[in-house]
Amino acid sequence: MASPIPFLAAKRTAEGASAGILGAGLDLTESCRSGTRAAPRHIRAASYGLESYSPILERDLEDLSVADWGDVEVDGMAIVTALDTICERFADVLQAGFGILLGGEHTIALAGFRAARRVYPDAALVQFDAHLDIRQEYEGAALTHATWVHHAAEEFGYDSIVQLGIRSGTREEFVRAERCLYSSAGLDIPPPILEALAGRPVYLSVDVDVLDPGTAPGTGCPEPGGVTFRELAMSLYALRSLRVIGADVTEVLPETDPAHVTALAAAKIVRELILMFA
């Protein structure tokens, strides 16, 4: 396991922290290319390139206490055990306060959402992603980065799931996604859906491939036609009224990330999420 690099002003211990970061470099089921296991380290390293202050939010990480919980060791584990292990550790992070899970492949979002539901039984999932990820199975496997939303829906109900930025999936996936509380190519949540979420704890899952490959080329399954960083950031700011209790940022692939811009985008998303919700 790579030794954790503190995120900006992060402390090493969880005590008294208002937010916690946990790395989960799961890298088992990628279909396009692997390498996401290195992502948590690269995202933490990229955070050194950012100011701790957000001029849009007018808040500073230095006014908060962020704990770095290190990385979950998942090397050599089968997928079921790996997800259980991530869920256990992340539930501890969420018990302590607002939590960020750093991927790793997007499958970790199932562990993240399970942990969220364990701590907050009524939690809803808001997914930013180019892909629906709602296949029933993928290449003969049940638990993969392309099927995790199907599992989340079966375990916790389609009415707990909102999908944004979607621009890829099979015909069957798009039919199944109609059962979700909301599923859209757009990034905005319509007022009635926002209202439905307003009374519930919310877990956010951000796959960096929701961004256009021109903005975030370093990802496992880049999908043309995505949004700019600014557009994604604006839609995250629009969630400020919600009670977001945790989030993941997944699918950074360092080896295809020229100039580390994708890791940098992920780090900035993490900063803004902590400043908004911790």
Q: Which residues bind Mn ion (CB under 5 A)?
A: 129-131, 207, 209
Comparing C-alpha atoms, which of 136, 113, 108, 114 is closest to residue 125?
113
| Helical residues (DSSP H) of 49-138, grouped into ranges | 79-96, 108-119
Q: By C-beta, is 4 or 254 nearer to Mn ion?
A: 254
Query: Whole-number minimum distance, CB 135 to Mn ion, in Å?
Result: 12
Query: Whole-number minimum distance, CB 207 to Mn ion, in Å?
Result: 4
**Secondary element (H or E) of residue 41:** helix 39-46
Residue with tokens 């993240």: 112
| Three-state SS annotation for 132-169 | CCCCCCECCECCCCCCHHHHHHHHHCHHHEEEECCCEC
Q: By C-beta, is 226 or 246 nearer to Mn ion?
A: 226
| 259: CB partners within 8 A, 6+ apart | none
Q: By C-beta, is 66 or 211 nearer to Mn ion?
A: 211
Q: Which amino acid is present at 219?
A: T
Query: Whole-number minimum distance, CB 130 to Mn ion, in Å?
Result: 5
**Residue nearest Mn ion (C-beta atom):** 131
Cα gap 78→76, rounded to integer Å: 7
Q: By C-beta, is 129 or 248 nearer to Mn ion?
A: 129
Q: By C-beta, is 89 or 131 nearer to Mn ion?
A: 131
Comparing C-alpha atoms, which of 20, 3, 1, 5 is closest to residue 274?
20
Q: By C-beta, is 23 or 222 nearer to Mn ion?
A: 222
Query: Whole-number minimum distance, CB 235 to Mn ion, in Å?
Result: 16
Query: Whole-number minimum distance, CB 250 to Mn ion, in Å?
Result: 8
Query: Whole-number minimum distance, CB 212 to Mn ion, in Å?
Result: 13
Q: Which residues pair with 59 in a beta bridge?
A: 54
Cα gap 55→210, rounded to integer Å: 24
